[in-house]
Structure 1
Amino acid sequence: MKVSNETKIGALTAVAIVVLILGYNFLRGNDILSREQRFYAIYGHVDGLNISKPVLVNGFQIGRVSDMKLQPSGSTVVEFKINKDYLIPENSVARLMSTDLLGNKAIEFELGNSKVNAESQDTLRSNVERSLAESVQPVQKKAEAIITKMDSLLTSVNTILNPSFQKNIDRSFKSVASTLETIDRTTKKVDGLVGSESGRIGKILANFESISSNLRNNNQHISHIVANFDQLSNQVAKTNIQETLTNANKAMTDLQAAINKINNGTGSIGLLLNDDKLYNNLNNSAANLDKLMIDLKANPKRYVSFSIFGGKKNN
């Protein structure tokens, strides 16, 4: 039986259509010929994740992303188709992870330790891993800071390589070398001085040692002197200096009051010093006494007379 060309073309077209359908579904994550179970996970953002992206366990592919639906809340429900040959514990986590620096994503199952396996149509716990770009961002900032410091360092190196700066460096080194030579000469002079004066230095040290020995030997005596000073200071502290000052002030006040009375002519002393009549009477009495003494010397018989027989002659 001869098959016509039309039949061959029709059969070939049908086979091509079936292969196209199977290939399209495979690319979308739908493997019609395989036994599959479906799981779901909810993510806040799914940038970089597309349908047919692989589902991995420790890097081994066990399924594909089959569908993605945006919810009114803004989250996205992602459907996974997993081969039924693989058992998934119910506490497993579907982690959205980055696969390269370009932002491509995949799903990696972190299998839990539960003895109960998840069933088809179950919703697994989800987790979003930081992208490689986000992870590299702190390193990028550090690299930028290092590059900035390197640029500053290179600028400094260029400055150092400047001929004028090199001349300044050479002059600085020469100055440092001259300073070191001066210090070396000074050290030699000091060594010579110490060598020549070692005898005097030894005597000075001996004197210091003698002084320290005397202080050590007279330590008890010095302690006794300090104790005496302490006792004297305690006695002075105990003396009632305030009362003495108060009594002195009172005495000065009484003396001032007495002087004021004398100046005012109050009392005997005040009258004696301030009364002119008493002065005049005393002056007159002195003058009369002086006259009496003169007359007594001139005429003693007028005032005194003696008689051998005890008789008395009247003038």
Structure 2
Amino acid sequence: MKISNETKIGALTAIAITVLILGYNFLRGNDIFSREQLFYAIYSHVDGLNVSKPVLVNGFQIGRISNMRLQHSGKTVVEFKISKDYPIPENSVAKLISTDLLGNKAVEFELGNSAVFAENKDTLRSNVERSLAESVQPVQKKVETIIAKMDSLLTSVNTILNPGFANNFDRSFKSIANTLATLESTSKRVDGLVGTEGGKVGKILSNFESISTNLRNNNDRIARIVSNFDKLSDQAAKVNIQETLTNANKAVSDLQVAINKINNGKGSLGLLLNDDKMYNNLNNAAESLDKLIVDVKENPKRYISVDFSLIQIGGKGKKK
């Protein structure tokens, strides 16, 4: 039986479409010829993770990522297809790990120790491992700090190697050498002076020793003298303080007597403060005196009379 070309082309086209569909699903992690179980995990961020990335257990691949869905909360639900040949304990953790320095990610199952296994379409606990870049970041900061210090050190070395600095450095060493030579000469002179004047220095030290011996021998006498001076000063202070307190008490007593007299109406000040008649009389007198002064200013002729005496020059009589 001869098969027509159209039949051959149709069969090849169907086979090609089937292979294309199967290959696409395989690349997405969907193997339609195998029986697999589904698991889910929820992550806050999945940068570097894609569909068809492997699912590992201690580096051995047991499945693939088949789907990823973003939720309204911003978290991502990741679907795993795991072969039924590998039972997963229910307390296992789906850990998001880094596979290289470029940021590519994969999922590794940390198998738990539970005797109960997770069932199909269960949601496993999730965890995100620090990426290699994040792990290297503290080391990077330390390296940057070391590089900055090395740069500062090299700058200092360049400054030291500068000809001007070298000349100044040489001059500083010469100055230090001159200073040391001067100190050496001075020490020699001091040694010579001590050698020549050693007898005088010994006499001075002997005199100081004699004075200290006398002070030590008369220590009790000096202590008694100081004690006597202390007693005299205390007695003088006590006498002065007692006399001052006596005078103050007397002054207070006299002031109290005077205040009592004033309050009892004795004396001019007491009468002035306590007797209303005296105050009224003084007030009336002041008022009368004020009226008299006003009247004198208004009618001066009333109080002033002037006598004129005319004396005739050479005469014996007087006319008024």
**Shorter-chain TM-score category?**
0.5 to 0.7
Alignment correspondent of 1:56: 56
Alignment correspondent of 1:306: none
Letter of the structure 2 residue corresponding to residue 39 of structure 1: F
Letter of the structure 2 residue corresponding to residue 167 of structure 1: N
Letter of the structure 1 residue corresponding to residue 185 of structure 2: R
User: Greater CA deviation, 208-217 or 61-70?
Assistant: 208-217
Larger radius of gyration: 1
| Distance across 2 between alignment mates of 1:196 and 1:151 | 60
| Distance across 1 between alignment mates of 2:207 and 2:120 | 105
- Per-residue CA deviations over 1:190-242 (Å, capped at 9, x if unaligned) read 33333444444444444444444443333333332332233223222322446
| Distance across 2 between alignment mates of 1:112 and 1:206 | 95
Q: Residues 223-234 of structure 1: matches in 2 within 5 Å? A: 223-234=223-234
Q: CA deviation at 1:73?
A: 1.9
What TM-score results when the alignment is normalised by the length of structure 2? Answer: 0.63
Letter of the structure 2 residue corresponding to residue 117 of structure 1: F
Alignment correspondent of 1:105: 105
1:162 is aligned to 2:159: no
Letter of the structure 2 residue corresponding to residue 81 of structure 1: K
Alignment correspondent of 2:95: 95
Alignment correspondent of 1:122: 122
Alignment correspondent of 1:171: 171
| Distance across 2 between alignment mates of 1:116 and 1:216 | 98
Letter of the structure 2 residue corresponding to residue 106 of structure 1: A
| Distance across 2 between alignment mates of 1:202 and 1:82 | 105
Alignment correspondent of 1:216: 216
1:236 is aligned to 2:230: no
Q: CA RMSD in A?
A: 3.6
- Per-residue CA deviations over 1:80-120 (Å, capped at 9, x if unaligned) read 12233334332332222222221111112233344433222
| Distance across 2 between alignment mates of 1:107 and 1:238 | 98
- Per-residue CA deviations over 1:17-57 (Å, capped at 9, x if unaligned) read 66655544333223445453321111121111001212223
Alignment correspondent of 2:47: 47
Letter of the structure 2 residue corresponding to residue 136 of structure 1: V
- Per-residue CA deviations over 1:135-185 (Å, capped at 9, x if unaligned) read 333443443343333333333333322222222222222222222222222
| Distance across 2 between alignment mates of 1:199 and 1:35 | 117
> What is the identity percentage for the equivalent residue pairs of Structure 1 and Structure 2?
80
| Distance across 2 between alignment mates of 1:34 and 1:205 | 113
| Distance across 1 between alignment mates of 2:188 and 2:209 | 29
Change (3 A) 1:79 1:206: farther
Q: Residues 70-89 of structure 1: matches in 2 within 5 Å? A: 70-89=70-89
SS of the residue 2:103 aligns to: coil
Letter of the structure 2 residue corresponding to residue 183 of structure 1: L
Structure 2, gaps ≥5 residues long: 251-320
| Distance across 1 between alignment mates of 2:152 and 2:28 | 54
Change (3 A) 1:4 1:245: closer
| Distance across 1 between alignment mates of 2:157 and 2:12 | 75
User: Greater CA deviation, 159-168 or 32-41?
Assistant: 32-41
Alignment correspondent of 2:38: 38
What TM-score results when the alignment is normalised by the length of structure 1? Answer: 0.64
Structure 1, gaps ≥5 residues long: 251-315
1:68 is aligned to 2:65: no
Task: Give the count of matched residue pairs.
Answer: 249
